[in-house]
């Protein structure tokens, strides 16, 4: 092996004194010269304008450059191939969107114990527990707003506002109540629930999923009209986070309507006792709704309606309230029939035979 002072390819053989250490520092063979990093200009070149006596020669690193580049490219290709292989074997799957649930609804008729009281709208309200209720949308108040773990104050406020808008459209809008309009409510329903909503409007059925009155309050315009435009309302709204991607809002409100038979003049008088006859009557609906909002719902001002529970009266227990509410008129009485029977052997349609007794707390004065 050559020492530190030897030429790159060792001491040349056959050189006089080649083994003599005396000449080792001054003898340079051809391989040593080729390995030099600096090269002296020739005599002829030095006669020119060169300011320096020597020039740099390409080193071994440059001669090895293409080889290093190929090795680097090979390593990059191998790394890319490994990443591609791992991606194919273990592909990243984004979380699947949570499916929207179908609405589950229940409408419970409340039958009066006696004759349905009648009178003028103002007197009916004054004698009922709704005397202290606010009129219209003013009765639907929002709770104090605060952020949750995953939703800001503004997002919580948006959810509550959509819920209130839904309650106003589905419970207070005269076009929805007595004119058969559905669009004011439909535009607030999550797109994934629209098929269920549309079927409930076109072919309502008391099966727990397709009652029109699960989505909104409405009366048959051929039978019932509003005796006064103002509806008295009282209730609460509450919210809670249902996970990092969902907010839930629950509502519990009582709506008091004054209604009269369709075609009867608004100035119709009550019977001699001032409470029964051909005048207006009070119809009360308590609605409990459960909403869910994902981030798309908040952005598009839509709501998923998960649960709807309503108690409404005075109605007969046998009344079919899937399509419209069926108020008993002033002076009317509930039939002696109980709720519609439920056949446990029937398939397809699951009707719940539920009925209650209306206790209004009406005052006699």
Determine the pLDDT at residue 354. 79
Nearest to 304 by CA among 286, 317, 291: 291
**pLDDT 10s digits, 125-137:** 999 999 999 999 9
Q: How buried is 137 (Cβ within 10 angstroms: 0-12 exposed, 13-18 middle, 19+ buried)? A: middle
The owner of tokens 């209306």 is 358
Beta strand pairing call for 247-261 and 281-293: antiparallel
Distance of alpha carbon 285 from alpha carbon 170, whole angstroms = 12
Q: Which two tokens stand for residue 139?
A: 């009765």
Determine the pLDDT at residue 255. 98
Determine the pLDDT at residue 87. 63
Residue 289's SS3 state is: strand
144: left (phi over 0), alpha (psi -120 to 50) or beta: beta
Q: Which two tokens stand for residue 68?
A: 């290093």
Alpha carbon distance, N-terminus to C-terminus of the chain:
125
Determine the pLDDT at residue 231. 97
A 10 A CB-CB count for 264 gives: 15
Nearest to 171 by CA among 252, 264, 263: 252
Residues with Cβ < 8 Å from 364, sequence gap 6 or more?
A: 127
Determine the pLDDT at residue 264. 74
Domain residue spans of the chain: 28-89, 104-338+351-358
Determine the pLDDT at residue 191. 96
Determine the pLDDT at residue 269. 44
Q: How many CA atoms lie within 13 A of 280 on its CB side?
A: 21
Q: Which alpha helices (H) appear in 222-334, and where do they start and end?
A: 295-300
Distance of alpha carbon 295 from alpha carbon 182, whole angstroms = 25
Q: How buried is 101 (Cβ within 10 angstroms: 0-12 exposed, 13-18 middle, 19+ buried)? A: middle
Determine the pLDDT at residue 272. 41
pTM equals: 0.70
Q: Give me the residues paired with residue 111 across strands.
A: 357
Q: How buried is 87 (Cβ within 10 angstroms: 0-12 exposed, 13-18 middle, 19+ buried)? A: exposed
72: left (phi over 0), alpha (psi -120 to 50) or beta: alpha
What are the mean pLDDT values of the chain's consecutive 10-residue runs (365 residues total)? Answer: 52 52 57 59 61 56 62 82 68 58 94 93 94 96 96 97 98 97 98 97 95 97 94 97 95 97 65 53 97 97 97 93 95 75 56 73 55
- Phi, psi for 222 (deg, rounded to 5): -80, -15
**pLDDT 10s digits, 45-61:** 666 655 555 555 555 54
Beta strand pairing call for 232-241 and 134-135: antiparallel
CA 261 to chain centre: 41
CA 309 to chain centre: 22
37-44 contacts at long range (C-beta below 8 A, 24 or more positions apart): none
Q: Report whether 245 contacts 209 (CB < 8 A).
A: no
Distance of alpha carbon 311 from alpha carbon 23, whole angstroms = 118
Residue 317's SS3 state is: coil
């Amino acid at each position: 092996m050559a020492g530190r002072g030897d030429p790159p390819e060792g001491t040349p053989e056959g050189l006089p004194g080649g083994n003599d250490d005396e000449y080792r520092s001054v003898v340079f063979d051809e391989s040593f010269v080729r390995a030099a990093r600096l090269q002296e200009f020739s005599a002829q070149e030095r006669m020119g304008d060169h300011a320096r006596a020597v020039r740099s020669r390409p080193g071994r690193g440059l001669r090895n450059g293409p080889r290093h580049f190929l090795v680097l490219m090979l390593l990059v290709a191998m790394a890319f191939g490994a990443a591609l292989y791992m991606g194919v074997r273990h592909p990243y799957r984004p979380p699947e969107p949570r499916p929207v649930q179908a609405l589950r609804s229940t409408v419970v008729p409340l039958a009066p114990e006696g004759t349905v009281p009648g009178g003028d709208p103002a007197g009916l309200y004054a004698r009922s527990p709704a005397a202290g209720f606010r009129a219209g949308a003013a009765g639907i108040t929002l709770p104090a707003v605060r952020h949750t773990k995953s939703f800001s104050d503004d997002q919580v406020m948006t959810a509550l506002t959509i819920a209130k808008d839904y309650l106003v459209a589905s419970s207070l809008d005269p076009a929805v109540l007595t004119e058969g309009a559905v669009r004011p409510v439909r535009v607030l329903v999550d797109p994934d629930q629209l098929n269920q909503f549309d079927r409930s409007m076109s072919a309502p059925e008391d099966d727990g999923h397709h009652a029109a009155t699960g989505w909104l309050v409405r009366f048959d315009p051929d039978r019932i009209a509003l005796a006064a435009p103002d509806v008295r309302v009282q209730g609460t709204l509450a919210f809670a986070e249902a996970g990092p991607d969902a907010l839930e809002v629950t509502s519990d409100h009582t709506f008091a309507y004054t209604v009269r038979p369709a075609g009867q003049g608004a100035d119709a008088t009550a019977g001699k006792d001032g409470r029964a006859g051909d005048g207006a009557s009070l119809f009360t609906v308590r609605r409990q709704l459960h909403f869910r909002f994902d981030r798309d719902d908040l952005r598009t001002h839509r709501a998923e309606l998960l649960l709807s529970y309503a108690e409404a009266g005075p109605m007969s227990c046998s009344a079919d309230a899937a399509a419209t509410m069926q108020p008993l008129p002033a002076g009317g009485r509930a039939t002696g029939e109980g709720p519609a029977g439920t056949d446990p052997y029937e398939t397809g349609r699951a009707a719940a035979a539920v009925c209650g007794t209306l206790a209004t707390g009406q005052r006699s004065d």
